[in-house]
Structure 1
Amino acid sequence: MYSSVLWACMALCACEILLPPVEGEDLTAWRRVLVESSWFKESVIRTPKNLSLISCGLVCMRHDWCNLWRHDEPSACLLTSLFVSVSYQPSQPDGALPCYTGRKPEFTTRAAITSSVHYHANIKQGSNLVDGIYSSDIYDASIVDQESGAFAWFLLDFGDIIPISEVILVAQPNINSYHYFRDIEVRVGNTQASGNFASYLMLGSFTGPGDPEQIVILRPATPLFGRYVSIQRTTDGMLQIAHVEVR
């Protein structure tokens, strides 16, 4: 449990802290988020040293796998590879832990999502892709199948036209990524479509096949403006994605 002094410090901290530059490392902004303690499982590494709030962020910066950290009792850091959006809202806010993420703000948690038919009726749902958090669990990775007249697809609806300069896709965390994370097109449009997104502007594509948890970053030459982002496989087969971010 946090000490009263640490809780007071966290309460007074702004939503973003700026770490001082150190040799060989750039100035990095960390953004404060609340995360349920249940997300901190095997992926957590506790550092053995006594570290301050600022030092924890510097330690995380030195690990390529570290995406989130929190300052823990007694004066140690908990580091994790957990992906958490700045706009993430914990489902159980009571007892949520104050943490810091280095991930940039993005639009995905504002989106509604539809798709072709889900391969699993009650698990691996498309809503997992827009909930703002990903823990390398295969059950977070949504999987859809092709349907009559259309290859497998997801469609994100942001409710309004937004500028889109980057889409990040993360492959599922097992070897089936070779089969289900490949031949992908990402497009941007302003009218709702279902299965046929040829009228949308092409943002980028990934031929693959993907490796487990491969991160694919797609960026157009200039930002595209649209309300909808489609993610569609262009060949027969299922499409499985573990995590999506849109900026």
Structure 2
Amino acid sequence: MNVLCNAFDLCFLDGLYTCRFRSGHTNLSNTTTQCEHFEIRANKDCPNGFFSRSRGICKNMTVLSNIALGKPATQSTTYYNASYAVDGNRGTDSFVDKCTVTRKGDSNPWWRVDLQAVYNITSVRIISRGGKYWSNRLRGVTVTVGLTESDVNIPCGFFTGPGTASQLVVIDCPTLPQGRFVKISKTTETLILCEVDVFGVPV
């Protein structure tokens, strides 16, 4: 199966400056994939060590699974349990579907999942809470990655927001940060996550 793909990738000097896809990226249908063979090298003017958006054809597609599903999760404060964001329930009614919620007054809330193994993280997807009032709480969100739970500071991506009700927010990690822990944080009160998917390639 051939799939047209988009990716951020690192350019390197190989006779000419070229960009090639690394394994693990998002294709045009928003499915996170791992490509084993590549066609079409992109952007011969890309400086060595810089990142460039590339496009090409991937063969022998392998779809990556959600590596956060059912894994241990914790958060800064608890109104609704942190594990609700990785329970596989993709509903957005916080009372019925059990979204995770930090406590009111927590001005720097965060949520973190332990993937229980080290991965190169390709993307993180967040499903926001339904309802007009609550949906705008998903704003100013930062996703970071780390090897230990006390040091989860490698940048993945950022969502400015504000979000919309029941929105699927896709945050790509162009540098493929390596880690065991993924953290979602914000600098405004109350973090609400109905479901979090994490995609990555095993190290």
Report the TM-score range of the alignment, normalised by the length of the smaller protein: 0.5 to 0.7
Separation of aligned partners in 2, 1:171 and 1:161: 26
For residues 138-197 of structure 1, the C-alpha deviation after alignment (integer angstroms, 9 at most, x for no partner) is 23221103777x61010111122112101001110111334421111000001112xxx6
Alpha-carbon shift at residue 222 of structure 1 (Å): 3.2
SS at match of 2:77: coil
What residue number does 1:191 align with? 148
- Structure of greater relative contact order (alpha carbons < 8 Å, 6+ residues apart): 2
Q: CA RMSD in A?
A: 2.7
Counterpart residue identity of residue 133, structure 1: N
Larger radius of gyration: 1
SS at match of 2:139: coil
Alpha-carbon shift at residue 111 of structure 1 (Å): 1.9
Counterpart residue identity of residue 141, structure 1: C
Separation of aligned partners in 2, 1:146 and 1:153: 13
Alignment equivalent of 1:226, drawn from 171, 179, 184: 179
Identity, % of aligned pairs?
26
What residue number does 1:181 align with? 138
Alignment equivalent of 1:208, drawn from 146, 150, 161: 161
Normalized per residue, which structure has more helix? Answer: 1
User: Could you state the TM-score of these two structures normalised by the residue count of structure 1?
Assistant: 0.51
Q: Structure 1: which 4+ aligned runs deviate by more than 4 Å?
A: none
SS at match of 1:182: coil
Alpha-carbon shift at residue 104 of structure 1 (Å): 5.4
Contact 1:162 1:225 in 2 (8 A): yes
**Alignment size in residue pairs:** 140
Normalized per residue, which structure has more strand? Answer: 2
Question: Is 2:82 the partner of 1:126?
Answer: yes
What residue number does 2:117 align with? 160
Alpha-carbon shift at residue 246 of structure 1 (Å): 0.2
Contact 2:136 2:161 in 1 (8 A): no
Q: Kindly tell me: are residues 224 and 126 of structure 1, through their superposed partners in 2, closer, same or farther at Cα, counting changes over 3 Å?
A: same
Separation of aligned partners in 1, 2:187 and 2:197: 21
For residues 73-108 of structure 1, the C-alpha deviation after alignment (integer angstroms, 9 at most, x for no partner) is xxxxxxxxxxxxxxxxxxxxxxxxxxxxxx952101
User: Could you state the TM-score of these two structures normalised by the residue count of structure 2?
Assistant: 0.61
Q: Kindly tell me: are residues 203 and 118 of structure 1, through their superposed partners in 2, closer, same or farther at Cα, counting changes over 3 Å?
A: same
Q: Kindly tell me: are residues 158 and 147 of structure 1, through their superposed partners in 2, closer, same or farther at Cα, counting changes over 3 Å?
A: farther
